[in-house]
Amino acid sequence: MDALQIQHRVDHAWWREIAGQLSARNGGGNLGLYFHISRGADERRHHAYPDNVSPTLYAFAFEIPPPPAADKAAATRYRVSTEEDLRWRRCNIKSTALLGNVMHYQFGHSKGHNETLLYNQTGELTEAAACNVFVVRNGEVATPPLDHQKLPGITRLLLLDILHRHSDIPARERVVLRSELADADEVWITSSSKEIAPVVEIDGKPVGNGEVGDVWLAAQTLFAAHRYDY
């Protein structure tokens, strides 16, 4: 909101109350809560930010499936495409202006794939259309560092912290090249709904041996044990 100059004071107690009401009115259980703040409604169409408007707040609850189990046999296996990242240079802002992401996602979907991994003009991985990306090689986990090209995902943040705190698995934030995908032992995509999702095929070619990996199993086991510590 600061980046978009939306004037709204974040009151955590107020948001917690709204979250509680949404959960109670929808019967509790395994719910996701969605919060959306827009700049507000004005009486005229004008490209400049309108003055003296109050932000519009919108929220709803929705049922979500049980979290993924740390089980190779039960894991959803993702097959993805790759494509050059053609979005704008402020992808670190979480906004509803997702046309670029939607078009990249559609590119993979049209090929029968579950996601699209993106890379910039210099061949560096950025993220996926709706996820962050991790690459595993020789037991080391790597993910691209945060900058204007990537959304700082919550699952990405938690996973890095959990691996650092609760395991001996080396995990680094570093530049990851698209070319590294060909030699990767494992590739993961992460998001709040997917948690840590193993990618077994990229552009029709298997990742590693084409199976869900042992490092994924260890990481998902740790994530399931510690995701609610925060």
Residue 16: φ, ψ to 5°: -65, -40
pTM of the shown model:
0.93
**Does residue 131 contact residue 191 with C-beta atoms inside 8 Å?**
yes
Task: Show Cβ contacts of residue 175 under 8 Å, excluding neighbours closer than 6 positions.
Answer: 124, 144, 145
Tell me which of 5-9, 77-81, 196-200, 219-223 is least confident.
5-9
Check whether 37 has a pLDDT greater than 90.
Answer: yes
Catalytic status, residue 194: no
Instruction: Return the pLDDT at 220.
Output: 97
Q: Sketch out the chain's domains with CATH numbers.
A: 12-63 (no CATH), 78-226 (3.20.10.10)
Check whether 30 has a pLDDT greater than 90.
Answer: no
**Residue 64 pLDDT class (50, 70, 90 cuts):** confident
Check whether 28 has a pLDDT greater than 90.
Answer: no
Instruction: Return the pLDDT at 66.
Output: 86
Catalytic residue among 72, 94, 150, 205: 94
